[in-house]
Amino acid sequence: MATVVLVTGGTGLVGRAIEHIINTEPENSRFGRKSNETWIFTGSSHADLRDPEQTRKLFEKFNPTHVIHLAALVGGLYKNMKYKLRFLRDNIHINDNVLHTSYLTNVTKVVSCLSTCVFPDKVTYPLDERKIHAGPPHESNFGYAYAKRLVDVQNHAYKAEFGCNFTSAIPTNIFGPNDNFDLDDSHVIPGLIHKCYLAKKNNTPFVVSGTGKPLRQFIYSYDLAKLFIWVLREYDDVEPVTLCVGENEEVTIREVADAIVKSMGFQGEYLFDATLSDGQFRKPASNEKLLKLIGGFEFTPFDQALDSTVKWFINYYDEARTGMTG
């Protein structure tokens, strides 16, 4: 049977990584494109998914049998702190339109993307799939967190009432080529890569926000892309599955900044602005369920993936999403 996979958010960091993997892995690989598959990658210029009518028209146009739902209002700590209501409302609308239109058009399977940001702040570590609703999220991003948690609630309700095969995946912090490298609103790795690049170019200090002490567990977008393809094809449970490296592979923000400095070959002044928020101190997640189900997966080592991302940014600076105009 012909399979049409619609990837919402297909023009973003994760969407472009899935497109890269599906176009470059051999057909006989677990992650390669199958001969009966058509993959469609859409962004906000195809349809504003906050709008039900535009969402309906998008589905009418492509008639998907499967959906990987990545589209979201996304941003780093400081953007989440500024726009809590917008993160809540935009994401609620996007998710509700995508899930309900998928139901109405008989989509066979939907995999939506959550995040480890959505977990409770006060919780026993490591995070795992059963703890999503076990307490309030961190105050800094509660708008985004509650909107994303509702996807899991909706998935269960669509299954209970209509038997839909809707599920979700929970990645930790992601980075890679085609990220959003905006200086103020991006996540830490793309933000710091861009800041270090400018510090080197302009001979100015490289300033890292916060104390550098918080810990994060990063996944390379190309690794995550393979895991999403696996979830789409091989994981059929409504309960979410966490997609991440091992919980013992957290790195401090200082280690991230050190690795960027090294990759960029930056030799100037480098400091921390401790007046800025550190956000959540840590949020390590377990990949035990993932590894048990997938039966082994080779993750790209962090330093190697970071170096590739820095090189990508330098090579593609003119076309990267930098938030700079002109």
What is the nearest approach in angstroms of ligand GDP to the Cβ of residue 174?
9
Which residues, 6 or more positions from 189, have their beta carbon under 8 angstroms from its beta carbon? 173, 175, 179, 218, 256, 260, 306, 309
Label the pairing between strands 215-216 and 166-171.
Answer: unpaired
Residues 213-232 that bind ligand GDP (CB under 6 A): 214, 216
| Catalytic pick among 78, 144, 197, 235 | 144
Per the listing, tokens 């035990």 go with 288
Residue 253 as a binder of ligand GDP (CB under 6 A): the answer is yes
What is the nearest approach in angstroms of ligand GDP to the Cβ of residue 152?
18
What is the nearest approach in angstroms of ligand NAP to the Cβ of residue 116?
7
Residue 210 as a binder of ligand GDP (CB under 6 A): the answer is yes
Residues 110-129 that bind ligand GDP (CB under 6 A): 117
**Residue 144 annotated among the catalytic residues of the structure:** yes
Backbone angle region of 186, left / alpha / beta, with phi > 0 → left and psi within -120 to 50 → alpha = beta
Residues 55-84 that bind ligand GDP (CB under 6 A): 76-78
Please answer whether residues 151 and 100 qualify as being in contact, where contact means their C-beta atoms are separated by less than 8 angstroms: no
What, of ligand NAP, ligand GDP, none, does residue 214 touch, CB below 5 to 8 Å by kind?
ligand GDP
Residue 208 as a binder of ligand GDP (CB under 6 A): the answer is yes
DSSP three-state, residue 37: strand
CB neighbourhood size of 199 (10 A): 20
C-alpha–C-alpha distance, residues 79 and 121, integer Å: 19
What, of ligand GDP, ligand NAP, none, does residue 174 touch, CB below 5 to 8 Å by kind?
ligand NAP
State the residue number with the nearest CB to ligand NAP.
12
For ligand GDP, which residue of 188, 193, 196, 241 counts as binding (CB under 6 A)?
A: 188
C-alpha–C-alpha distance, residues 197 and 123, integer Å: 37
45: tokens are 């210029």
Site string for ligand GDP, 15-54 (x = CB under 6 A): ----------------------------------------
C-alpha–C-alpha distance, residues 4 and 198, integer Å: 42
Amino acid at the residue 56: R
Which residues, 6 or more positions from 198, have their beta carbon under 8 angstroms from its beta carbon? 183, 204
311: tokens are 């090189």
Instruction: Note the residues at the interface with ligand NAP (CB under 6 A).
Output: 9-15, 43-45, 48-50, 70-74, 94, 113, 115, 171, 173-174, 180, 187
Q: Which backbone phi and psi does 17 adopt, to 5 degrees?
A: -70, -40
> 49 or 164: whose CB is closer to ligand NAP?
49
What, of ligand GDP, ligand NAP, none, does residue 208 touch, CB below 5 to 8 Å by kind?
ligand GDP
For ligand GDP, which residue of 65, 173, 180, 263 counts as binding (CB under 6 A)?
A: 173
List the catalytic residues: 144
